[in-house]
Structure 1
Amino acid sequence: MRPVYLDVTRLLKGILFRKRATGVDRVSLAYVRHYGEDARAVLAARGHHFAVSHQASRRLFDVIKHYYEDDGRVERFQLANALLSSARSRIERGGVLIHTSHSGAEFDRYFRSLKLNGVDVVFMVHDLIPLTHASYCRTGTAQVHERRLRSALSMSSGIIANSRATLDDMTGYAASNGFRVPPAVVAKLAPGTEIGNDATAPIAGPYFVMVGTIEPRKNHLLILDVWRQMVERLGASAPKLVVIGREGWKCSNVIELLKNNALWQGTVAWYPDCPDTALGGWLKHARALLFPSFTEGYGMPVAEALTGGVPVIASDLSVLREYASDIPDYLDPLDLASWQARIMAYSNVDSPERAQQLARLVRFQVPTWEKHFEQVDRLLADLGS
């Protein structure tokens, strides 16, 4: 196989700032696990980049895996030592750089310099949300993301899309803007975390879980409105809601509500810094994962829940139907009454609605990293032929 290089800049920044892994990070970590034995690490800043030796790459990859797989229990000095011992070098002509995080691709000199030096770039596209739904994103994100897409379309040798929906969006963007789409594959994402096996539920009584960064497109406000109405009617006997995810952007109103314990009478809990081991335990005993997003590039928590046998109540998004088929219960993300009715129905111990989804769950075809990398390896082989 040709020399493989992995851009791990975003993963290393996550360690430096002690962040929990998002879906994008989980994907990048899967690439470190799959290719790390033979690949070399690449670091970049504002389009300037360098590779490190195989030996230094092993150290960096080990630090990355220990941090993200061991709930953040790694000291930053270990990362500093690995970086300080990393001698810089160029990426070899004939090599292939796999870029899995979007981050840094807005600086086109990154891809341009690699192309000029005979290096193939394979770029993963997670979504086009900053362009298709700019109002949900930070100010300026649309312009940055467009530069990333233009770099990928004009200078990369191959594209990895996490879903057919994402590839269709990118193909449409390319056609509208005069670009040719490089050779591309759809490689579905496997779960990034496992459901726990704890026999005992973390709390008593029926509860539901939401997983994801607190940001407008995740639609936390709808679910909090549902809970406000249930608490007004049922008081402390209302089912519980567990919100797992760090604070994002344009979400000050949601954060204020989550912190207002008196309003929820003990029925809503927020965990902004939840380790993966605890996340798996919360999902294991939930009545359902609630996923009312307005838009998604993939929706990894849905795949994680279904893989672990946990029912899902979700927005009716084409990308979810692409891999989850008809298994979840799908609702309009604006239909508060329907969400409330379904949540109350699922709260019952003998819920027929929940039992019906559990029966459908046996048909779920679990996406695996093995199948994902079969697609990616095929693309890499075609580029080298």
Structure 2
Amino acid sequence: MTGAQTLLDVTRLVSRSWTKRRSTGIDRVCEAYARHFRERAQAVVQHRGIVKVLSRRDSDALFDLLLQPGEGFRRKLIRFAPLALARSPSRIEGEGRIYLNPSHTDFDLPTHHEWTEKSDLRGVYFLHDLIPLTHPRLTGAHAVKRHLGRVRGLLSHGFGAIVNTRATQNELAVFAGKRGLGLPPVAVAPLAGADLSACCDGHADLALEKGVQEPYFLCIGTIERRKNYTMLLNVWDVLAKEYGASCPKLVIVGQEGPQSAPIFEALRARPDLAKLVRFETSAKDEEVGRLLARSRALLMPTHAEGYGLPVVEALQIGTPVIANDIPSFREIGQGIPMLLDVEDELAWKRAIGRFAFSDHDRDRQLNMMGRFVPPTWQSHFAIIDPWLESLSDLKQVSTERIQVEC
């Protein structure tokens, strides 16, 4: 299989650029895939079962728009899209080419898999996590239903699956085994964090400029129930009583999610925490990098995570991490973070107190930073490219469902 034979789904990138929302981890993956494949792929866009395959010329134009969106993105897309979509077919003669979807867009729909089969395409899907299925109480019923459709669709029709950790791979295997479904070939390829090192140089006082006094701790992630910020508010309640005016601060950086209201309400119900806890809902990467570099530690009490890019980014710039003891963090942390049970609030309180006012535990992590090997996009695609090539040698995914170790 040559690169020119790849069809790359860019639907999520179009949506993100149109809405101007800040990038999540999945968005960053989609952008990395667009940059890597743009010279040897045709772009695919879809909406609820309606699929369009752009020509190479129109694909190049769309990749240019998506990878350098700028302020005029909407105007340029409105000018570009009508004609480009009008001359883009829905059904093609795929001749066994790879269709690659790096997001979770619409492969829960039966019509999507009908399209890949009738177009003679080999669908390869990036499954970022199984959280709605493993932790349904942390999300809504609609999200559970859609993700169930995605995972079932991948297992029943996918020619291959890409996952970010062996933890996600294991969860997929358990799901398939319980339902008597076979696994397509699976590639495990860790994700690269953003390069925040340049953001930290010469800007150590940014935290103070934003009114954040040391010592402080940082959380990074969408403000939603799954991230477990309410537990940290409980911990800070106790810290405030114990340390008084010298209590460390907490900064939470993230976009507001669909379940953010109860978290803000919990903070408003504790006016005594107003000077200790603050939310930054529109921080740019440069600001996040500077805050992260100056913080005593990154806190990740999330109940579940498919990967955890902030952990990689923190370790990459030498910031210690205190996180929930879950499989993905054990894997990507390479034995460096302090991992604690989020049900043990007392353990979190003690650890935060030690990291705030003593250097012993913190120095232990700092001394281990030299052995951290951060994943890169180069190492990611060094796994993916030959693996995709190997899929071209498989004749029938339904009869040759094997697990590819990478």
* Contact preservation (8 Å) 1:5, 1:42: yes
Comparing 193-202 with 160-169, which one deviates more in the overlay?
193-202
RMSD: 1.9
Q: How does 1:59-208 map to 2 (within 5 A)?
A: 59-67=61-69, 73-86=71-84, 87-89=87-89, 90-94=91-95, 95-195=97-197, 196-199=199-202, 200-202=204-206, 203=208, 204-208=213-217
Conservation of the 8 A alpha-carbon contact between 1:105 and 1:111 = yes
In the TM superposition, 1:252-291 aligns within 5 A as 252-258=261-267, 262-291=271-300
Q: Deviations over 1:116-150 (max 9, x none)?
A: 22111111111111111100012221111111111
Is this contact kept in 2: 1:124–1:160, CA < 8 A? yes
Q: Equivalent residue of 1:6, what SS?
A: strand
TM-aligned CA distance change 1:260 to 1:282, over 3 Å: farther
Q: What secondary structure sits across from 1:93 in the alignment?
A: coil
- Distance in 1 between residues matched to 2:92 and 2:272, nearest whole Å: 56
Letter in 2 for 1:80: I
Give 1:376 deviation, angstroms: 1.1
1:21 paired with 2:30, answer no
Q: Contact (CA 8 Å) 2:129, 2:306: kept in 1 or not?
A: yes
Matched to 1:240, the amino acid is K
Counterpart pick for 1:56 among 55, 58, 61: 58
Q: TM-score, normalised by structure 2?
A: 0.88
Q: Which amino acid aligns with 1:88?
A: S
Query: 1:160-192 CA distances to partner (integer Å, 9 max, x unpaired)?
Result: 111111111111111221211111111111114
Give per-residue Cα distances to partners, 1:299-352, cap 9 Å, x unaligned.
Answer: 11111111121111001111111121210011111111111111111113x511
Cα distance in 2 between the residues matched to 1:160 and 1:76:
31
Deviation at 1:268, TM superposition (A): 1.6
Report the alpha carbon displacement of residue 267 of structure 1 after superposing the two structures with TM: 1.9
2 CA distance for matches of 1:98 and 1:326? 33
1:31-46 map, 5 Å:
31-46=33-48
- Quote the Cα distance in structure 2 between the aligned partners of 1:261 and 1:84: 52
Corresponding residue to 2:301 among 281, 292, 304: 292
The AA in structure 2 aligned to 1:221 is T
Equivalent residues of 1:130, 1:142 under 8 A apart: yes
**Aligned residue in 2 for 1:369:** 377
- The 3-state SS of whatever aligns with 1:88 is coil
Contact 1:138 1:249 in 2 (8 A): no
2-structure distance, mates of 1:310, 1:302: 9
Moved more, 251-260 or 372-381: 251-260
Question: 2: distance between equivalents of 1:179 and 1:269?
Answer: 46
Separation in 2 of the partners of 1:60 and 1:287?
A: 42
Question: What code does the residue aligned with 1:156 have?
Answer: G
Structure 1, unmatched stretches of 5+, are: none
Aligned twin of 2:403: none
Amino acid across the alignment from 1:27: V
Contact 2:296–2:355 (Cα < 8 Å) also in 1? yes
How many Å apart are 1:225 and its aligned residue? Answer: 1.2
Report deviation, 1:58. Answer: 2.3
| Aligned residue number for residue 398 of structure 2 | none
In 1: Cα distance, 2:215 partner to 2:65 partner: 38
Distance 1:315 1:88, change over 3 A: same
TM-score when scaled to structure 1?
0.93
Question: Could you tell me how far apart the structure 2 residues matched to 1:96 and 1:265 are?
Answer: 52
TM-aligned CA distance change 1:261 to 1:15, over 3 Å:
farther
Residue 66 of structure 1, CA deviation: 2.4
**Structure 2 Cα separation of the partners of residues 125 and 232 of structure 1:** 44
- Matches of 2:10 and 2:102, distance apart in 1: 9
Matching residue's letter, 1:176? K
Give the deviation of 1:101 after TM superposition.
1.0
SS of match in other structure, 2:141: coil
Query: CA offsets per residue over residues 210-256 of structure 1, 9 Å max, x none?
Result: 11111222110111111222223434432121111112133322022
Instruction: Return the letter of the residue paired with 1:197.
Output: C
Asked if 1:351 corresponds to 2:355, the answer is: no
Please show how residues 291-330 of structure 1 align to structure 2 within 5 Å: 291-330=300-339
> Matched residue of 2:123: which SS?
strand
Aligned residues: 380
Counterpart-to-counterpart distance in 2, 1:308 and 1:160: 27
What is the Cα deviation at residue 264 of structure 1? Answer: 2.0
1:379 to 2:387 alignment: yes
Between the aligned partners of 1:209 and 1:362, the Cα distance in structure 2 is 22
The CA distance in 2 between the partners of 1:206 and 1:241, in whole Å, is 9
| d(CA) in 2 for partners of 1:258, 1:74 | 38
Which whole-Å CA distance do the structure 1 matches of 2:177 and 2:270 have between them?
Answer: 50
CA distance in 1, matches of 2:274, 2:300: 23
Shift of 1:373: 0.9
Structure 2 vs 1, CA of residues 62 and 186 (structure 1 numbering), >3 Å: closer, same or farther?
A: same
